[in-house]
Amino acid sequence: MAKQPATTDRRTEIAQRAKSFFDEAVEAQNDGDLAGAIAGYNKTLSLAPGYVSALNNLGVALRKDRKLDAAIALQNRHC
């Protein structure tokens, strides 16, 4: 069996890290830690800019944290 190219391994690693950051952010949001959730979603998006669930949840967390300008800017950038 041929070894996968290093780029594929790297992409898989990045996707796994993004999912881990996302899961931590969801947990923080569920615990009411909006600052932690926002930071986690931003970490997720730094690795996977098109992670739709992270974009959506970030917008919700920003709105709940009354950071409406940031929530609107996020929506305008991605819609």
Domain ranges, residue 34: 7-78
pLDDT in tens, 19-69: 999 999 999 999 999 999 999 999 999 999 999 999 999 999 999 999 999
- Reading the block at residue 78, the tokens are 């991605």
Is 42 part of a structural domain of the chain?
A: yes
| Number of structural domains in the chain | 1
Is 38 part of a structural domain of the chain?
A: yes
Nearest by Cα to 61 from 30, 29, 24, 13: 29
User: Which residues, including other chains, have CB under 8 Å from residue 61's CB and lie 6 or more apart?
Assistant: 25, 29, 34, 37, 38, 41
Is 23 part of a structural domain of the chain?
A: yes
Is 2 part of a structural domain of the chain?
A: no
Q: Looking at 7-11, 43-47, 68-72, which range is the least confident one?
A: 7-11
How far does CA 23 lie from the centroid of its chain?
9
